[in-house]
Structure 1
């Protein structure tokens, strides 16, 4: 459920949008505006939704719906599909959970779900007039990393639900790189899946989850700004080709900032 309809990415099965489920819209607007330099516009779905913009370009949705839908405060990725009902059936058949939806929202249909290891994600079916056209570009301005129990099992789950490696035109492809799974959509690296998460861990950083990563010019400066506005640094780490920091916003939403250029390291796709 985005503040505006998620903009579709090239082909189906790709990550198409990121969305913050939160409790208080004004507080989230103040925090992310200060930390990431975003500006905001009212969303098409009503007063509880905003569209975040960077340099005038829509980059994320924010909705104050955590309490209304009894869901956790979280950053959630959305994946584009041709039919949300089919995706919901596939999720359930593979021991995943559909928490909300599919619901008709604006020019599409959406659902909240969790994979069989408990990582939350969304599905978006575009039903607007441009549904049959070839959409252009990644409008989310973020990339994703799934930290899960077993990367290969998770790749099979999402592959079967979303049609990765189906051979259909425009679907995403996966590659196995150094015990991780790299997801490429339209030839661009957009997500990684890595093993090692623990399902029952008391620390949410250790449990399976989708990590939404926003590129920034200066990780250290962004961390300082986040802490100055009530955020918390959860983890700072050096990674190949740069660094990244996982932060918690004042309402408990976790996100990551990074100076790495893409999920494929220094390769910008």
Structure 2
């Protein structure tokens, strides 16, 4: 994704209410935090530091900058190992109600954590996402401007999905801080404070046996060498579900978590 403004010129963002409706983080829920850290360190070169949420969480760093969160939550919460985007909301309870009213599902929460409240949900087509009310991570503006991870929803009908999420998150509502929605040919493009923060595309198959082509939020990580990441993933117990040499690959970690690596020049 290309960005047009610098984090240095933006006001500091400290709470989810400042950027309501925008993606504010991506996180992996995993069965074995140490094993997952070893895998992603080998494949993506990440290092890790403790997170403010507790011992079962860590923050992944790339060249010293925060990229994503990892948490040992899959067992206790009985949810699938998956990379999940989180969207900032002003009121987690109100947002959860909106999701249910529009035939989505709230699987977990909202639950209180040390710095805010969160929930896991799914839209009408089954694509999983999270919501977050509270303090954003330190350096969030840098995270958004650097685009270390970007999002694409592949769903049955992108325009129907835009209506669902728009009503849930108050997209294009005209209030200061809301997410802007653009319709570009056959995709929906989301912008927050001038930054492209996500894209919505049609084409997923709701009942497909392969989870890689069912409706889902894809988490993309721009990398310098896609092919080297593919080789490292296989060498460290992962698998390849799709690969265009030199450009993009969808990978599966040893626990089954799907993620995509994209060549930096192609990450738009």
Matches within 5 A, 1:59-98: 59-98=67-106
Choose which of 24, 41, 50 in structure 1 pairs with 2:58. 50
In the other structure, the counterpart of 2:262 is 258
Higher helix share: 2
Q: Is the aligned partner of 1:156 residue 2:163?
A: yes
Q: Is the aligned partner of 1:184 residue 2:191?
A: yes
In the other structure, the counterpart of 2:208 is 201
- For residues 102 and 110 of structure 1, what CA distance do their matches in structure 2 show? 5
Choose which of 150, 153, 156 in structure 2 pairs with 1:143. 150
- For residues 44 and 228 of structure 1, what CA distance do their matches in structure 2 show? 32
- For residues 85 and 33 of structure 1, what CA distance do their matches in structure 2 show? 36
- For residues 160 and 143 of structure 2, what CA distance do their matches in structure 1 show? 26
* Aligned partner of residue 69 in structure 2, secondary structure: strand
Encode CA deviations 1:207-246: one digit per residue, 9 max, x unaligned: 10000000101111111111111111110137xxx72110
- For residues 34 and 258 of structure 1, what CA distance do their matches in structure 2 show? 17
- For residues 16 and 226 of structure 2, what CA distance do their matches in structure 1 show? 29
Number of aligned positions between the proteins: 251
Q: Is the aligned partner of 1:32 residue 2:36?
A: no
Gaps of 5+ in 1: 1-5
- For residues 10 and 177 of structure 1, what CA distance do their matches in structure 2 show? 26
Choose which of 246, 250, 262 in structure 2 pairs with 1:246. 250
Residue 206 of structure 1: CA displacement? 1.3
Gaps of 5+ in 2: 1-13
In the other structure, the counterpart of 2:239 is 232
Note if contact 1:172-1:184 (Cα within 8 Å) is conserved in structure 2: yes
Q: CA RMSD in A?
A: 2.1
In the other structure, the counterpart of 1:104 is 112
